[in-house]
Amino acid sequence: MVLAPGAEFHTHRGALAHDDVIGQPEGSVVKSANGDAFLALRPLLIDYVLSMPRGAQVIYPKDAAQIVHEGDIFPGARVLEAGAGSGALTCSLLRAVGPHGQVISYEVRDDHAVHAIRNVETFFGERPANWDLRIADLNDHSRVPGASEVDRVVLDMLAPWEVLGTVSEALIAGGVLIVYVATVTQLSRTVEALREQQCWTEPRSWESLQRGWDVVGLAVRPQHNMRGHTAFLISARKLAPGTVTPTPLRRKRQAQVAAEVEKRAQEADE
């Protein structure tokens, strides 16, 4: 909740007076009108993301953390993001690049952009000066006057393979591309499109599952519920101009085996 003098926050356990919270140090205990105790803490980014109003589905913290880490999003980085969605990942990216970095977010839907603007401004208290939200298609990026290269690109869209040409032009050599997709079909099509371009390192793909544990003395056991599949993440790095992706040894062997199997099948048919 956003504190305001004289206001109240109503719960099923009684009303909390904002004046009882304002001025208290974090971690204080305040009581409702019913006498129930509440612990007062400022929300972390993870708390905000899980409770923010949303239009599009948000990228959950377990995936956002890996995007920031695997994407090597560093202070001062120039990051290109598409699409902005509800602004959850945008908040993580803006925090990671710091005041001297820049985040350029593309979003094709006006209603999603409205959610992103409201959520980002609410979290930071204002519109970050280093955030450039563009309601447009990412393929229009190269036509923007003064468009410069970026250090990192993060894609969260239905058909990321359709913008890889624009991405390869915008990303610096050695830059990192992270793609967030929900389905196996999207995963396969995106990875094969990256391979066809031959200007990327061999793509890596993975998903993350998160399971909590209950710990009470020596009674230690995994929780019955877990955060299972939310999405697949794909990572690749841009090669220098004119460089062709070397074929990994494993893929060469797989191709040889497939060719041999096909040859034997043809001989058997004859």
Q: Please tell me the distance from the alpha carbon of residue 159 to that of residue 117, in angstroms, as a whole number.
A: 23
| Residue 162 in marked binding region | no
**d(C-alpha 158, C-alpha 187), whole Å:** 11
CB 163 within 8 A of CB 139: yes
- 144-150: long-range contacts at Cβ-Cβ below 8 A with a sequence spacing of 24 or more? 148/78, 149/78, 149/175, 150/78, 150/79, 150/80, 150/104, 150/175
CA 1 to centroid of chain Cα atoms: 25
Place of tokens 């967030």: 180
Q: How far apart are CA 92 and CA 81, in angstroms?
A: 12
Q: Is 267 annotated as a binding residue?
A: no
Using CB atoms within 10 Å of the CB of residue 122, give its burial: 0 to 12 exposed, 13 to 18 middle, 19+ buried. Answer: middle
- Tell me whether residue 208 is annotated as binding: no
18 is in an annotated binding site: no
98 annotated to bind ligand = no
Was 149 annotated as part of a binding site? no
Indicate the DSSP class of residue 238: B
Query: Is 107 within any annotated ligand binding site?
Result: yes
Query: Was 86 annotated as part of a binding site?
Result: yes
Residue 257: partners with Cβ closer than 8 Å, 6 or more residues away: none
Binding positions for S-adenosyl-L-methionine: 86-89, 107, 112, 137, 156
Binding positions: 86-89, 107, 112, 137, 156
